[in-house]
Amino acid sequence: MKTIFIAGHKGMVGSHIHALLKKTKNKLITADKKKLNLLDQSKVFKFLKKQKPDQIYICAAKVGGIHANNIYSAKFLYENLIIASNLIHGAMINNIKKILYLGSSCIYPKKSKTPIKEEALLSGYLENTNEGYAIAKICGIALCKHYNKQYKNKKVDYRAVMPCNLYGEGDNFDPNLGHVIPSIIYKLHKAKIQKKNKVYLWGDGKPKREFLHVEDLAKACVHLMNIKKSEFYKKKSYEHYNIGSGKEITIKNLSNIIAKVIDYKGKILFDKKKLNGTMRKVMDISKIKSTGWNSMISLNEGIQRTYSYFLIHHEKKLYKS
């Protein structure tokens, strides 16, 4: 039996990893923001010294969609950098051997050749709209890489994974701060109940994105945490792993799928004055597939599940006015 600390267990990713690990015989440690502020180095170090987990899943992060990343870029950079630094360094000084750090596909350069391989990291300029968040996540990967290198004698094993665009139960449905799928669900559902015959979405609808349901990501994280060290690092370039569906779709086609699930009959128009972000961002997932993992939840099924969750947990709260 292992003792496992899940940092960010109430977030979308952390809650799904927590639910998955609850089915095992391991002892799980959690701490909400009231008990442990991950931005407070002293408290983080004391917590890790007292709890001394065998493994840490770093799911905690300051996250948001294109608008939030662009407007609050300094906050996204600072908070994500501090969270990663406190947990990774705190683990090392407390002799905690194993970490899985969750990054993001936005770490890759704006003009990366697609599908994007892990080796594309630091090969070009980042997309401006999420540069702050991306730099923080790159630093998290670098910390894992260099702690593995410098502290070989301590036998630390700090692994990093880079998910594509995520969605699913537990997502943030704020139309301004949320990611693309929950934001579109919010806007189209609101247009439906208000009987509006048209709705505007950001950009021109042409950017292509890769999406993965959060349950698939949780299974991938647990899978990669538990494969042998020799398999995870079977090549020197295997310092982090992409996790995705390997499939891409335009925002316009995505919005049509969501409209069908919601049963919204109006027109979907695009505000071309708004930001598009990177035009194409599908990742190469051959490395993780070589370990035996594959995504299982189709985009249509995942959106149906996400919309059902939205209706149960968020509709009344968001539209009570």
Tokens of 101: 């750090």
Tell which residue, 279, 135, 134, 264, has the closest CA to residue 199.
264
Please report how many Cα atoms fall inside a 13 Å half-sphere around the Cα of residue 237, on the Cβ side: 7
In a domain, 258, yes or no: no
CA angle 175, 181, 185 (to 5 degrees): 60
Amino acid in position 192: K
**Dist CA 191 CA 169 (whole Å):** 21
Domain that holds residue 96: 3-168+211-245
- Whether residue 128 is contained in a domain is answered as yes
Task: Collapse the DSSP code of 295 into the 3-class scheme (helix H, G, I; strand E, B; otherwise coil) and give the result.
Answer: coil
Tell me, what's the pLDDT at 146?
95
> Above 80 in pLDDT, residue 97?
yes
Residue 274 forms part of a structural domain: no
Q: What are the pLDDT digits (tens) for 265-303? A: 999 999 888 877 777 889 999 999 999 999 999 999 999
* Number of other CB atoms surrounding residue 154 within 10 Å: 13
* pLDDT for 314: 77
> So what's the pLDDT on residue 129?
85
Q: Do the domain assignments include residue 269?
A: no
Residue 318: the pLDDT is 60
Q: The tokens of 155 are what?
A: 């036998």
In this prediction the pTM is 0.93
Residue pair 80/69 in contact by the 8 Å Cβ criterion: no
Instruction: Compute the average pLDDT of residues 110-120.
Output: 93
Q: Is residue 277 part of a domain?
A: no
pLDDT of the residue at 321: 46
Q: Give the ranges where 28-93 is alpha helix by DSSP (H).
A: 41-51, 66-71, 73-93
Q: Which secondary structure element, helix H or strand E, spans residue 311, and what is its range?
A: helix 299-313
Please report the pLDDT score of residue 236 as a whole number. Answer: 66
Please name which of 253, 261, 268, 255 lies closest in space to residue 196, comparing C-alpha atoms. 268
Is pLDDT at 238 greater than 70 in this prediction?
no
**Residue 71 counted as domain residue:** yes
Residue 156 to residues 8, 209, 229: CA-CA distances in angstroms? 22, 34, 10
Dihedral of the CA atoms 22, 168, 122, 120 (nearest 10)? 100
- Region 196-212: mean pLDDT is 92
pLDDT value of residue 175: 78
Domain-embedded: residue 137: yes
CA distance 167 to 212: 7
Q: Is the pLDDT assigned to residue 207 strictly greater than 70?
A: yes
Domains contained in the chain, number: 1
**pLDDT for res 237:** 61
The mean predicted confidence, pLDDT, of the chain is 92
Residue 317's pLDDT band, with cuts at 50, 70 and 90, is: low
Tell me which of 66 and 313 has the higher pLDDT: 313
Any domain includes 112: yes
**Which positions ≥6 away from 321 have C-beta within 8 Å?**
none
CA distance 217 to 92: 26
DSSP type of residue 274: S
45-222-143-213 Cα dihedral, nearest 10 degrees: -110
- Would you state the pLDDT for residue 65? 72
Q: Give residue-wise pLDDT tens across range 36-92.
A: 999 999 999 999 999 999 999 999 998 877 777 788 899 999 999 999 999 999 999
Residue positions annotated with a catalytic role: 133
Residue range 5-21, pLDDT digits in tens: 999 999 999 999 999 99
Q: When comparing pLDDT for 175 and 212, which is higher?
A: 212
CATH of the domain at 65: 3.40.50.720
Q: What is the pLDDT of residue 319?
A: 57
209: its two tokens: 């994105």
- Average pLDDT (152-171) is 94
Tallying the residues shown for the chain, one arrives at: 321
